[in-house]
Structure 1
Amino acid sequence: MSADTRPAQSPSKYDRLIAAARAASPAPTIVVHPCDETSLRGAVESAQAGIIAPVLVGPASKIRETAARFSVDISGYEIVDAAHSDAAAAKGVELIHAARGELLMKGSLHTDELMRAVTAKVGGLRTDRRISHVFVMDVPAYAETIFVTDAAINIFPDLDAKRDIIQNAIDLYTQTGFGKLPRIAILSAVETVTSKIPSTIEAAALCKMADRGQITGGLLDGPLAFDNAIDPEAARIKGIKSDVAGRAQILVVPDLEAGNMLAKNLAYFAKADGAGIVLGARVPVVLTSRADSPRARMASCAVAALYANARRLKTPTIAA
């Protein structure tokens, strides 16, 4: 997701992220139904950058026709034929089970089609962890790389789902080397606990769950309103004394609607790029949008590749 109007050569947090991914081994990646220019070119450019090693899954004739029409060289990449988008999603999951790929990447099919195959009870890629989505956002006006979760998968997550959503984000943050012990703000409309706003009660419960070891690897605080989660002066004015307030690195939203609006506001008002990745499945899933800038699309691949590489090596791959 992007509304990037900055010059193409302007420095960004994503530049460092992409450089780190280039320094690691290319991640074998199953690209599902890359049958339009954007998805096919995005996969090929990420491969040319040394970030992924793609296998293209979908109608072979349509993939080759798209490549020819838009002058995308796919001569060096394997194509696995699948009749249509649903078949491509199923085949992509099958190839993951066959250990042909460490990442799954969305092409020009609908997100629902891909996630239906990923979440299938029989033959899917489910684990014991709840599947969730993270936007890794480069906001020019903010010093930190910001994670926003969950803004794409879980519509109204309950307390147990939010526990997994937070743990997924912490694991991504730490295992790809953004840093240790990330600061997590659990967002609501206000920073005080009130029975009138259920998300404030859940935020307080999640903080206590972290105290009891049910969530590990991060510093949690909540409820926090958006302003005092990311602005030290706003936190000071409200009298909030916290290691998280004003300095959050992971923003946990109450529900998908709030997360989607927050992420799009950052994209269109703050000119942020947003790389998207799905976690909690057997492999990371790269979700991209037709509106993504080339840099955001490559950053999505870079985040997923670094995470896959870290999981393989069990060591961080990017300096904080």
Structure 2
Amino acid sequence: MVHEEHITETGSADRLSTVTDLVEIAGKMEASSVVIAGGHRAGDLRLVESARDHGIIDRIILVGPGDLVSSAIDEAGIEIKAGDIVAAVDDEAIAAATVELILSGSTDIVLKGGISTPVINRHMLKLASRPTVSLATIFEAAPISNGKPIIITDAGFTTVCSFGRLVNLIDNAVEVAKVVMNIDRPRVAVLSANEKQIASLPSTWAGKKLAERKWTDALVCGPLSFDLATDPESVEVKGLPDLPNAQVVAGRADILVCPGIDAANILYKTLTAMTKFGQASLAGITIGFPVPYIILSRADTLETRLLSIALCSIYARRMSDKRKIRKEEKKPSAADTRRVLVINPGSTSVKLALFENDDPVHEKEVRYSEGAKGRDKSSGALDRGRAGDPAEKSVPGEAGAEVRTAVSRGSTADRISELSMLVDKTLSGWGAGR
């Protein structure tokens, strides 16, 4: 249950009290859509059906071999609309189809199902919207920090933790703390084996440099041992280390930044073992993509899996709300609107994009090559030219009319002339004359 003392007058949670509250919080928000990459495992289907029963999910899209997906649906005993089954024959096709669903805005969450992790990650990384993609895990365990929710990072995604990567890990975790846990300025502890700088222990030097860096939305202290980061009694016994922000972070950390994936994964697996005895709760989210991404461990309990979906749904909904607010705040007046047409004539096609200020409002690609595909992203149409013919596209014009455009492989002068005509027709179709 969500504790009453943590509810504001508007009914939204003030600060996350327990990790298990995530399910109830997500269930009271607008439901999300989820795509399962490799949606042919009955266990995954039962999981998302449970999330649907809790009001967290309202649409389930399954990508995978059609016959296996149908068998899994029958085995799980759930209902999936025919239009929400995307047939894909192998892992490469599953990953590619999943990326297309993300790009089309069809899903709020991606859940890795029965697909090779390296394959889906390789395709997903093409969509990375941040310098570093990372896993942030919210956990609670009664023996640690009196059971308050804490974030650890990164237990499963970032293998090389350079100074720059550690900065990015902190940025990502801070955003989760602010968006999901409602902590305005999280306390961040950079973990190491010792709070003093030791020449043979690089993490102690990295922790100190990270603590000395200027942070506008977090209080960072390091290096800190695990007990000095989470246990007020240890701080009393050992005393405060002479480190930046030690007075506010030591014993009260909201985020634990591990020096590498080894330490983070060991801590994660220890907490996972505790969940099986009811001594801990976990929820994970991978951020850095257009939508939150869930990569579940085979050892994760059903509770951890459901909590992870709830966490991702809350993050997706609140980030969507933030984007809408920012868009309204930045919305320019008609007098301030600038339109810029970008033309990229390549060796096989011409690409055009129309921007209003910084926002792309139309995109179009017309190919020269015989038998090649042309894609009009503004209409979603996809045409295939015949051998020997110019690739031809249609774009919506005024009053529903279509504007036909084509580019052939003529002389340079011919192509310049055709390019000019293409621009005129395309702008006319977009309702944006020169």
Interval of TM-score (by shorter of Structure 1 and Structure 2): 0.7 to 0.9
Deviations 1:96-118 (A, max 9, x none): 01111122111122322221111
Is the 1:275–1:288 Cα contact (8 Å) retained in structure 2?
A: no
Is the 1:54–1:77 Cα contact (8 Å) retained in structure 2?
A: no
**1:251 aligned onto 2:260:** no
CA distance change for structure 1 residues 195 and 42 in 2, over 3 Å: closer, same or farther? same
SS of equivalent residue, structure 1 residue 314 = helix
- 1:269 Cα shift? 4.4
Deviations 1:36-92 (A, max 9, x none): 222121122112222123211111221110121243443587111111223112211
**1:138 aligned onto 2:132:** no
SS of equivalent residue, structure 1 residue 104 = strand
- Matched residues in 2 for 1:274 and 1:89: separation? 27
- Matched residues in 1 for 2:249 and 2:100: separation? 42
Residue 158 of structure 2: aligned partner: 154
- Matched residues in 1 for 2:274 and 2:318: separation? 33
The letter of the residue matching 1:156 is V
**1:111 aligned onto 2:117:** yes
- Matched residues in 2 for 1:254 and 1:196: separation? 14
**1:274 aligned onto 2:282:** yes
Matches within 5 A, 1:1-320: 13-52=18-57, 53-74=59-80, 78-119=84-125, 124-141=126-143, 142-209=146-213, 211=214, 213=215, 216-240=216-240, 241-269=246-274, 271-314=279-322
SS of equivalent residue, structure 2 residue 253 = coil
The letter of the residue matching 1:228 is L
- 1:303 Cα shift? 0.8
Is the 1:174–1:181 Cα contact (8 Å) retained in structure 2?
A: yes
The letter of the residue matching 1:226 is F
- Matched residues in 2 for 1:273 and 1:54: separation? 25
TM-score by length of 2: 0.65
Higher strand share: 2
Deviations 1:166-207 (A, max 9, x none): 100000110124322111110001111222211111111111
- Matched residues in 2 for 1:94 and 1:70: separation? 26
State the identity as a percent. Answer: 31
Bigger mean CA offset, 218-227 vs 103-112: 103-112
- Matched residues in 2 for 1:42 and 1:140: separation? 26
CA distance change for structure 1 residues 260 and 177 in 2, over 3 Å: closer, same or farther? closer
TM-score by length of 1: 0.87
- Matched residues in 2 for 1:30 and 1:272: separation? 28
Deviations 1:249-275 (A, max 9, x none): 211000001100011112224732322
Q: Which has the higher contact order (CA 8 A, sep 6+)?
A: 1
CA distance change for structure 1 residues 262 and 54 in 2, over 3 Å: closer, same or farther? same
SS of equivalent residue, structure 1 residue 117 = helix
Deviations 1:12-37 (A, max 9, x none): 92331111101111122222112222
Is the 1:14–1:295 Cα contact (8 Å) retained in structure 2?
A: no
Deviations 1:293-315 (A, max 9, x none): 22211110111111111111019
SS of equivalent residue, structure 1 residue 34 = coil
Residue 3 of structure 1: aligned partner: none
- Matched residues in 1 for 2:271 and 2:291: separation? 28
SS of equivalent residue, structure 2 residue 303 = helix
Gap regions ≥5 residues in structure 2: 1-16, 241-245, 324-434
- Matched residues in 1 for 2:26 and 2:274: separation? 28
Is the 1:31–1:43 Cα contact (8 Å) retained in structure 2?
A: no
Is the 2:43–2:76 Cα contact (8 Å) retained in structure 1?
A: no
Gap regions ≥5 residues in structure 1: 1-11, 316-320
- Matched residues in 1 for 2:152 and 2:168: separation? 14
Is the 1:138–1:274 Cα contact (8 Å) retained in structure 2?
A: yes
The letter of the residue matching 2:267 is L
Is the 1:38–1:290 Cα contact (8 Å) retained in structure 2?
A: no
- Matched residues in 2 for 1:77 and 1:44: separation? 17
